[in-house]
Amino acid sequence: MPTLWIVHRDERVRGALARLSAAGSDALLGGPSDRAFEKTAPPRIVLLGLERDLEAELEFAHRHAARTPEARWILLPRPGDEGEVARLFDTLAAEILTFPPAPAQLRQQIRNVLAERPVETLSARRVRDALSSRFSRFFADLELPQLLRALDPRLPSVPLVVRGEPGTGRSLLARYVHAFGGGSQGGFIAVPCESLDSAKALRERIRDADDGPAGRRPSTICMENLARLPLPLQRGLQGWIEIAMPPGLTAARPVRWIATLEDVPSGSALDPGLAQSLAGISIRIPPLRERPLAIGSFVAETAREWCATQGERPRQFSPAALDSLRDYPWPGNLCELEAVVVRTLCAGPPDPIDAAELRFGELEEPAESAIAAEWRERDEAVMEGPAAAAPPAEAPSAKLPPDAREAAAPAPPPTPRNDLLQRLVSSVAHQMRNPLVAIRTFASLLPERFEDPEFRGRFHEVVRGDLGRVEKVLDRLAGFAALGPGERTRVDVAALMEELLEERRPQIQARRLLVLKEIDSTAPFALCGEAQLRFALGSLLDKAFEWVPERADLYLASKHHPAGLRGEPAVRVLIRFHDPSRSGRPERVDAALAEALSLRSTSVEIVLAELVIGSQGGALTVDATGADETIILLDLPAPAIRPGEPGSGESG
């Protein structure tokens, strides 16, 4: 099998290049149109001499570059043609030597290529082994017939769509197909579609990526969450897939496109034309709730692998712990389950690990705060809102007479009810399951340890506390169910906040909290149901008091905005709690603040308040990205302030 192809139009030049390269019998010589190259195996080196208009040489490279992905190309242009050659052979990863090349330089180039052994490095083998092991843990229980087609070496460039919920392992499957399905000769690029807003950003993301062997362009591009890509970019991407990518982005070899899609309803959509372009192979990964039998083996394998990596003896999970894990809804699927297992193992629990030792939803390190500005500057910006930046467009109701504007209060906007109801069910399950796990654990131990007075005391303390938490959740749900739609009236928000704080005065004093207030009483009225607003604000305050540490501070504010809610008048309410002792310190976040970081999905109070506020035409926003600070912001519909009224800025 020849290791070197020498291609040139002139037979005499081909002979000269063969002598210069000292190739001997290992070389195959021919012209650009010679069909002998198509009948032999791919070489290690292609030496291509370039003459006149370059058309024949371009056609030769076009025919053979894709079928010789491992070959090293050396182009030999005439003096002065180097720039034009680099432009025309733009997708060919080649070295350019001016003709005639220096014999020593040419022979050294050939020796360097032949000295390279086409075998995997130790690091590449380690990556492939780790990828294979993780893939086995995630998908050992599944039969995915379409996966065999995706791995078929005869189909290395057929587009692939991987559907599934977040956390099911979509990106893992995409990387596995790239590594073991004939695409590993080039790089793998993962493109997060939600971060792209222009075709230029997409091109730069692909061009700047460096995830393959040295000198290789990508052979697999994985568009993660493709439906989140703006529709104009989706239509442009369709042309890239069906015809060709823009010059300079990929090598001459075919590129395999892989797209991951969320298997849940969302506001994003996939362009029908793009969907047809990706219709080659489709794989759906079922969520963990459809694979309950996978939990036991996944937990065992994850624990075994983690213990082996850490050099520790193997750990086992008790039947009660596995039952608890099977009962959990796992909105984050296998990735969330894996995190719980690893977090539990890192805590050094006894062996076997019981249900009470499981670490659900805890964070070991505080997340970095996303709100770094000074308190007063940030509060003013939040309270003023976008209305301070630029005057909003005139709202439709502004053309009505003042009396009619208040009667024609804006109708409640569409609320994503399905999403909120799903979160409500998930949060109720979360807040009910954690106490029930502890109660069930203690109940199972009660017969054998009944005579132990210390255990009985601990049983009484834990069960009473957990039953109290369950009762609190049920009371909150009952209060929500009793509200009804309510009649929208003028509600004094300032007076209501003062009343709610006074009702909670004993709790504030017992926990030694510092409550700071900037409540605007000049224009305090919101248009909503009084019972509904009392329920929502009370729920939020109760949750804030539960999250905030002792001796910490709580900041409350309210302000009227003439165009703060979709261009209509609004009363904006701010609840912020902060523990100054935690700022800039690396201590572990305590359980209350750890829960605050995931409050939108775990707190019944927050979800119920969001449902109530949404039903009244308002909006609720929560920011808990900082471990030391949490902000809750409410925008409530309000009547317009008439000229001369308090808060209008005009004298009477």
CATH for 191? 3.40.50.300
Q: How many domains does the chain have?
A: 4
For the domain that residue 94 is a member of, what is the CATH number? 3.40.50.2300
Per the domain annotation, does 646 fall within a domain? no
In the predicted structure, residue 565 carries a pLDDT above the cut 80? no
Can you tell me which residue has the tokens 């242009």?
A: 77
First CA to last CA across the chain, in angstroms? 99
Position 299 scores a pLDDT of 94
**The two three-digit tokens of residue 546, written as one number:** 């539960």
Position 389 scores a pLDDT of 39
Helical (H) or strand (E) element with 179: helix 170-180
Per the domain annotation, does 102 fall within a domain? yes
pLDDT tens digits for 273-330? 999 999 889 999 999 989 988 999 999 999 999 998 888 888 899 999 999 999 888 8
Rounded Cα distance between 500 and 538, Å, is 7
Indicate the pLDDT class of residue 496, thresholds 50, 70 and 90: very high
Is the CA virtual torsion 372, 377, 381, 382 positive or negative?
A: positive
Per the domain annotation, does 395 fall within a domain? no
Position 621 scores a pLDDT of 83
Lowest mean pLDDT among 25-39, 216-230, 347-361, 567-581: 567-581
Indicate the pLDDT class of residue 248, thresholds 50, 70 and 90: low
Phi/psi of residue 252, nearest 5 degrees: -70, -20
In the predicted structure, residue 489 carries a pLDDT above the cut 80? yes
Rounded Cα distance between 347 and 358, Å, is 9
Which one, of 35, 32, 56, 54, lies nearest residue 46 by Cα?
32
As beta bridge partners, residue 570 has 561, 637
Rounded Cα distance between 174 and 375, Å, is 45
Q: Which residues contact 612 (CB under 8 A, 6 or more apart)?
A: 480, 483, 532, 533, 535, 536
Contacts made by residues 482-487, CB under 8 angstroms, sequence distance 24+: 483/529, 483/531, 483/532, 483/535, 483/612, 485/529, 485/615, 486/528, 486/529, 486/530, 486/531, 486/532, 486/616, 487/529
Highest-scoring range by mean pLDDT, 80-89, 120-129, 148-157, 546-555: 80-89
**The two three-digit tokens of residue 196, written as one number:** 């792209």
Highest-scoring range by mean pLDDT, 47-51, 377-381, 601-605, 620-624: 47-51
Rounded Cα distance between 635 and 198, Å, is 32
Reduced to 3 states, what is the DSSP secondary structure of residue 282?
strand
Position 651 scores a pLDDT of 42
- Looking at residue 6, its amino acid is I
For the domain that residue 460 is a member of, what is the CATH number? 3.30.565.10
Q: 548 and 433 in one domain? A: yes
Per the domain annotation, does 98 fall within a domain? yes
Q: 323 and 212 in one domain? A: no
**The two three-digit tokens of residue 122, written as one number:** 């130790």
Specify the pTM. 0.51
Position 256 scores a pLDDT of 87
Which one, of 3, 75, 2, lies nearest residue 32 by Cα?
75
Rounded Cα distance between 563 and 638, Å, is 10
**The two three-digit tokens of residue 203, written as one number:** 């091109």
Of the residues 115, 147, 174, the one at which a domain ends: 115
pLDDT tens digits for 410-425? 444 444 445 566 667 7
Rounded Cα distance between 32 and 186, Å, is 26
Let me know how long the chain is.
Answer: 652
Q: Which residues contact 119 (CB under 8 A, 6 or more apart)?
A: none
Q: Which residues contact 130 (CB under 8 A, 6 or more apart)?
A: none
As beta bridge partners, residue 217 has none
CA atoms within 13 A on the CB side of 101: 27
Is the bond preceding 562 in cis, omega lying within 30 degrees of 0? no
Can you tell me which residue has the tokens 């600070």?
A: 629
Is the CA virtual torsion 393, 397, 401, 407 positive or negative?
A: negative
- H helices then E strands: how many in the chain? 23, 17
* pLDDT-above-70 percentage for the chain: 77
Q: 280 and 313 in one domain? A: no
As beta bridge partners, residue 73 has 46, 94
Of the residues 67, 88, 115, the one at which a domain ends: 115
Position 52 scores a pLDDT of 78
Per the domain annotation, does 79 fall within a domain? yes
Position 366 scores a pLDDT of 35
For the domain that residue 321 is a member of, what is the CATH number? 1.10.8.60
Using an 8 Å Cβ cutoff, are 462 and 355 in contact? no
* Burial of residue 83 (number of CB atoms within 10 Å: 0-12, 13-18, 19+): exposed
Q: 614 and 509 in one domain? A: yes
**The two three-digit tokens of residue 180, written as one number:** 């073991």
pLDDT tens digits for 444-474? 777 877 888 877 888 888 888 888 888 888 8
Reduced to 3 states, what is the DSSP secondary structure of residue 121?
coil
In the predicted structure, residue 368 carries a pLDDT above the cut 50? no
Q: 202 and 74 in one domain? A: no
Which one, of 358, 436, 408, lies nearest residue 568 by Cα?
408
Position 633 scores a pLDDT of 85
Per the domain annotation, does 519 fall within a domain? yes
Q: 24 and 104 in one domain? A: yes
Using an 8 Å Cβ cutoff, are 272 and 128 in contact? no
In the predicted structure, residue 382 carries a pLDDT above the cut 60? no
Which one, of 361, 363, 336, 343, lies nearest residue 303 by Cα?
343
Pairing between β-strand 160-164 and β-strand 281-284 as defined by DSSP bridges? parallel
**The two three-digit tokens of residue 474, written as one number:** 């049920």
Q: 130 and 109 in one domain? A: no
Question: Who has greater pLDDT, 314 or 377?
Answer: 314
Position 628 scores a pLDDT of 62
Q: 531 and 422 in one domain? A: yes
Indicate the pLDDT class of residue 348, thresholds 50, 70 and 90: confident
Q: 632 and 510 in one domain? A: yes
Rounded Cα distance between 9 and 11, Å, is 6
Position 200 scores a pLDDT of 85
Q: 104 and 135 in one domain? A: no
In the predicted structure, residue 77 carries a pLDDT above the cut 90? yes
Indicate the pLDDT class of residue 127, thresholds 50, 70 and 90: confident
Lowest mean pLDDT among 42-56, 161-175, 244-258: 244-258
* H-only helix segments in 264-387: 272-277, 294-310, 319-327, 333-346, 375-384
What is the DSSP-derived secondary structure letter of residue 317?
A: B
As beta bridge partners, residue 528 has 489
Q: 258 and 202 in one domain? A: yes
In the predicted structure, residue 598 carries a pLDDT above the cut 50? no
Position 588 scores a pLDDT of 38
- Residue 4 CB: number of other CB atoms within 10 A? 23
pLDDT tens digits for 134-156? 999 999 888 888 998 898 878 88
Position 495 scores a pLDDT of 92
Per the domain annotation, does 265 fall within a domain? yes
Using an 8 Å Cβ cutoff, are 57 and 16 in contact? no
Of the residues 84, 115, 146, the one at which a domain ends: 115
Rounded Cα distance between 271 and 236, Å, is 11
Position 361 scores a pLDDT of 67
User: The domain containing residue 159 runs over which residues?
Assistant: 122-286
Average pLDDT value for residue range 25-45: 89
Question: Who has greater pLDDT, 513 or 492?
Answer: 492
Indicate the pLDDT class of residue 253, thresholds 50, 70 and 90: low
Using an 8 Å Cβ cutoff, are 569 and 560 in contact? yes
Per the domain annotation, does 591 fall within a domain? yes
Q: 139 and 101 in one domain? A: no
In the predicted structure, residue 393 carries a pLDDT above the cut 50? no
- Looking at residue 511, its amino acid is R
* Burial of residue 140 (number of CB atoms within 10 Å: 0-12, 13-18, 19+): exposed
Average pLDDT value for residue range 95-107: 89
Phi/psi of residue 2, nearest 5 degrees: -70, 140
